Amino acid sequence: GAVVSQHPSWVICKSGTSVKIECRSLDFQATTMFWYRQFPKQSLMLMATSNEGSKATYEQGVEKDKFLINHASLTLSTLTVTSAHPEDSSFYICSAGQGTQNQPQHFGDGTRLSIL
Amino acid sequence: ILNVEQSPQSLHVQEGDSTNFTCSFPSSNFYALHWYRWETAKSPEALFVMTLNGDEKKKGRISATLNTKEGYSYLYIKGSQPEDSATSLCASRGGGTASKLTFGTGTRL
């Protein structure tokens, strides 16, 4: 149980393109989903916390107009990288929580984004 | 300690060897410590969530201990096997309902 599906797993696109990444909880309802970014040899850095039916909470330094997050249902959150540039190239991964803070997070497989 | 730090960054062991990794985290305002196992091309898999000082948890050949007063956790792997090759990630959560997980950079075995 507690499977999170993330799609796509790999994207290569031209500079200026917008890219949407989907994160779905397949067998549970996720009231909260988290979006992380990881640059080479660095740790997973939280970008934003997504709550179903409300606006996402962004971490300091993360541009909310650049990284649009939508959490329209209890099983789906999306991250859209708008007008992507080479510096946005990174590994993006989502996770979902099942409820209490003592529960682990369940992660997707991640998306490798390369902007040419 | 302001961030979550893990050591070593990577290590190689012989099959059958036992090994351990360290995770250091801020001891003030501590709420929980998570351990995840992350194999290449897969998603991170939860190993343990630990909250109490002195906690010890075990899952097969993998175990972990927690010292919240001094801000460290150890992950032990007994009798390493090839399938244990992965990155072990730890993450600390502070108190508060909106608290987030802060990850270390991982130890690659």
CB contact under 8 A, B43 and A4: yes
pLDDT at res. A52: 83
pLDDT at res. A58: 95
Q: How far is B49 from chain A (nearest CA, A)?
A: 6
pLDDT at res. B63: 97
Give percent above pLDDT 90 in chain A: 75
Residues facing B108 on adjacent strands = B10, B87
pLDDT at res. A55: 87
The amino acid at residue A19 is V
CB contact under 8 A, B105 and A41: yes
Residue B48, pLDDT > 70, answer yes
Residue A100, pLDDT > 70, answer no
Tokens of B32: 């929980």
Residue to test with chain A: of B43, B47, B59, B99, most A Cβ within 10 A: B43
Residue B1, pLDDT > 80, answer no
pLDDT at res. A103: 85
Partner B contacted by A97 (CB < 8 A): no
Residue B2, pLDDT > 80, answer no
Burial of A71 (0-12, 13-18, 19+ CB in 10 A): buried
Residue B98, pLDDT > 60, answer no
Residue A74, pLDDT > 60, answer yes
pLDDT at res. A101: 66
